[in-house]
Structure 1
Amino acid sequence: MTGLALGYGAPAGRAATGTASAIPIAGAGQRAAGSVRFEAVSKTYLSSAGAVHALDGIELEIPAGAIFGIIGRSGAGKSSLLRTINRLEEPSSGRVLIDDEPIGSLDENGLVALRRRIGMIFQHFNLLAAKTVRENVALPLLVAGVPKAEIDRRVSEVIGLVGLQGKEQTYPSRLSGGQKQRVGIARALVSRPEILLCDEATSALDPETTLSILRLLRDINRRLGITIVLITHEMSVIREICSTVVVLEKGRIAEKGPVWQVFGQPRHDATRALLEPLTPSLPDRIATRLLPAPVPGATAVVQIAFSGQTQPDLSALAAAAGTPVRLLQAGVDEIQGHAVGRLLLAIGGGPAADLTERLRRLSANVEVIGYVPADD
């Protein structure tokens, strides 16, 4: 991707200066713009069934340059919150600030300028079927009245950035889902926004394509320093790309924090429900024979959860148990440099209280979840 100079340090609508070079890597003070703050934001919809409180007193800060995830179950308020950032939704109360400036009082011209600073990509791509890749990407600049030479330059730059060289004259019907989403990303970036909003941007894609799109977004954030705010109902998406996550439930913040912390120590039932698809279930051969209390010859089934620690030392666990240990199941990821996950162990001998006390010297999150016959 050499020969590209997107000029992301330039104000919106102004051509970048300087010679063409590789896409700049963010840092060294290139960008300070792109922060978002919600102050007591609420949103109520009125319907024939009565008032629906989509958002209720949201207090939240998204720093410039972050990759910030908003997750929740259907109806949690994710889309309503995301769309207040570019005023596609107006809060019923409270206010939204971009770079410490409230956006609720902007006039028509101010709102147009704001939306040029905020790009958006969608679940179903929203491409115009009768226009080529190049024409779809160029559309925001045509509407803004940017000169043709500038349009040609910028469109070529972002098409190169998203890896669609050679597809410029292709129509959307001839593109894969992943390629369509890359067109959507290029179109969102061509106006040189400070903030990129992603509305379930990978929900229509298969897992392999989802991973490639998330890696592209992460690379865009790294190269350009652009703030990325994404909403999803999939914790796997959050784990792959985000640094910070907020969990919404019924229009309120259930919990928020660094991704590794929320994954490793979920405090709210909504978070635990969202994490359940990523949590291995107890093997059937264990679950069907699990007893609530020990019987002669029984083996304790011990769960050790890891959150923010170094990778578990199995030899140290066996030494601490002081008795034979068998690994039944393991699922430990490294998220943002922190070990997050759990081990399921079969440990024989000794009262449960003594066993857990010995193991807690190595990990605080130890739980005896039951007992099985020793031959399991």
Structure 2
Amino acid sequence: MGKPVSGLAFQGLRAPLSGMVQGTSGARVVPVAPAAGARAAAGTVRFEAVSKTYRSAAGEVRALDRVDLEVPAGAIFGIIGRSGAGKSSLLRTINRLEEPTSGRVLIDGEPIAALDENGLVSLRRRIGMVFQHFNLLSAKTVRGNVALPLTVAGVPRSEIGPRVDEVLRLVGLEAKAETYPSRLSGGQKQRVGIARALVSRPEILLCDEATSALDPETSLSILNLLRDINRRLGITIVLITHEMSVIRDICSDVVVLEGGRVTEMGPVWRVFGSPEHPATQALLEPLTRGLPDDLAAALHAQPAPGAATVLQITYSGQGAPDLSALAAAAGAPVRLLQAGIERIQGHAVGRMLIAVAAEAGPDLEVRLRALGGSIERIGYVPSDD
């Protein structure tokens, strides 16, 4: 597997976006506020009261219910929700594989519902799509699979070769150009799928469970590739997944769907750090470490003489824990029982369990709360546990 090329080597993959600054070290995306009345930046997606109802002999099912949200240009935007929440339906309205029953979808500020056949073909060339199960043609080589969208579009053969070579270098598969899919690993097949989605020089890339069929190590490599594509090319990426770790690792913003409705939305660090809706809390539960069995067995609701107080300190992005300040504010010996703190988009998110010796005093929580984080007293343990 080859190494992805530098930013300068594939700047020509698509036209520069609004707000992209060119420099000697390659392209970088710089947020630029649009002027009043200006056209939305390339890669912007807007949903306005979008609803989708499926009708069958068994009755009606409302998959989407008045969804309002905007995906900013250049973002990596995640859509999460339980099975049947409407994730796929929402994603597929962006390229009109699904037609909303009501409401509007706008791409770069323009409604797409009224597009004629030619306009729809043009729209879909601006929107690439990566699938969970690759959807490669077994009878075609890697080069043939990647070239297919250009061949169907009638792009001159003299242009197809260089563009295919560009994207194969981008995804690190130039050495596999003449290989057939049956000889590729799952990760390599997904890289072919990504290259095929990029060869038409889209401004938006849709990812439908793009890592769900891959092992963890391969999934990580694909996420790194998507992040690199977004950083180098400024392409807006919209992805749906049931893997919360994928959202945490790659997305800038996330929306949570439940029953076709938006229940929570915002920067990933905030939604993960302080989930408000029960659906979000349930989705994030696998990422939350439970109380260790030995500690749970020793925990008591009422204090015994000399018992240590067990506190749970939750950090939701306000600030990272300062262990020395924590010990000083407690005014008594502090033991760290368990901790799971990570940084998401530069914000500390997670929780710590600490045991504070009995001599800390009755206003312990007040003193610790001043250091940041939310404090919850969850019980007491013997001082030597």
> Scaled by the length of structure 2, what TM-score is found?
0.91
The alignment status of 1:42 with 2:51, answered yes or no, reads yes
Counterpart selection for 1:8 from 8, 14, 37:
14
Q: State the shift of 1:118 in Å.
A: 0.3
Q: Is the 8 A contact 2:130 2:197 kept in 1?
A: yes
| Alignment correspondent of 2:180 | 171
Could you tell me how far apart the structure 2 residues matched to 1:123 and 1:301 are?
Answer: 44
Relative to the length of structure 1, the TM-score reads: 0.93
Q: 2:157 aligns with which of 145, 148, 157?
A: 148
CA contact (8 A) 1:300 1:352 kept: no
Select the residue among 322, 345, 352 that pairs with 1:336: 345
User: What residue is the counterpart of 1:187 in the other structure?
Assistant: 196
Q: Is the 8 A contact 2:309 2:356 kept in 1?
A: yes
1:323/1:230 Cα in 2 relative to 1: closer, same or farther (>3 Å)?
Answer: same
Q: Distance in 1 between matches of 2:358 and 2:203?
A: 60
Partner residue of 1:102 out of 111, 130, 154: 111
Distance of 1:111 and 1:139 partners within structure 2: 18
Other-structure match for 1:86: 95
Cα displacement (A) at 1:373:
2.1
* 1:121 and 1:184 in contact (8 A); partners too: yes
Percent identity among equivalent residues? Answer: 72
Query: What amino acid is the match of 2:323?
Result: L
Aligned-partner Cα distance in 1 for 2:334–2:310: 10
5+ residue gaps, structure 2: 18-23, 33-39
Task: Please give the alpha-carbon distance, in whole angstroms, between the structure 2 residues aligned to 1:111 and 1:294.
Answer: 68
Are the equivalent residues in 2 in contact too, given 1:178–1:209 (CA < 8 A)? Answer: yes
Q: 1:277 offset after TM fit, Å?
A: 1.2
Residues 223-372 of structure 1: pairs in structure 2 closer than 5 A: 223-349=232-358, 354-372=363-381
Aligned-pair CA distance for 1:276: 1.1
Deviations 1:116-160 (A, max 9, x none): 000000111111111110000000000000000100010000000
Q: Which amino acid aligns with 1:237?
A: V
- Note if 1:125 corresponds to 2:134: yes
- Distance of aligned partners of 1:28 and 1:91 in 2 relative to their CA distance in 1, 3 Å threshold: closer
Distance in 1, matches of 2:150 and 2:52, equals 32
Report if aligned partners of 2:13, 2:166 keep a CA contact under 8 Å in 1: no
Distance 1:53 1:352 in 2: 55
Give CA deviations for 1:147-177 in whole Å, capped at 9, x if unaligned: 0010001000000000001100111111111
How far off is 1:49 after superposition?
3.1
- Distance between the aligned counterparts of 2:294 and 2:313, measured in 1? 19
Question: Residues 35 and 100 of structure 1 are in contact (CA less than 8 Å); yes or no, is this contact kept in structure 2?
Answer: yes
Change (3 A) 1:294 1:351: farther
Kindly indicate whether the alpha-carbon contact (under 8 Å) linking 1:306 and 1:339 is maintained by their aligned counterparts in 2.
yes
Distance in structure 1 (CA, Å) of the matches to 2:359 and 2:57: 63
Cα distance in 2 for partners of 1:130, 1:326 equals 62
Q: Output one character per residue of 1:198-237: Cα deviation in whole Å (capped at 9) or x when no partner.
A: 0000011111111111111111111111100000111110
SS in 2 for 1:309: coil
Q: Would the aligned equivalents of 2:319 and 2:372 in 1 still touch at CA under 8 Å?
A: no
Residues 310-335 of structure 1 deviation map (CA, whole Å, 9 limit, x = unaligned): 32111111111111110001111111
Residues 131 and 118 (structure 1 numbering): CA distance in 2 closer, same or farther, change over 3 Å? Answer: same
Following TM superposition, the consecutive aligned residue runs of length 4 or more in structure 1 with deviations greater than 6 angstroms are none
From 33, 49, 52, give the equivalent of 2:42.
33
CA RMSD of aligned residues (A): 1.9
Counterpart of 2:75 (choices 63, 66, 69) is: 66
- Provide structure 1 residue ranges, at least 5 long, that are not aligned to the other structure: 12-20
Provide the C-alpha distance between the structure 1 equivalents of 2:63 and 2:281, rounded to a whole number of angstroms.
21
Preserved contact between residue 132 and residue 209 of structure 2 (Cα < 8 Å):
yes
Distance 2:360 2:52 in 1: 54
| 1:302/1:370 contact within 8 Å kept | yes
- Checking the alignment, whether the CA contact within 8 Å between 2:53 and 2:101 is kept in structure 1 is yes
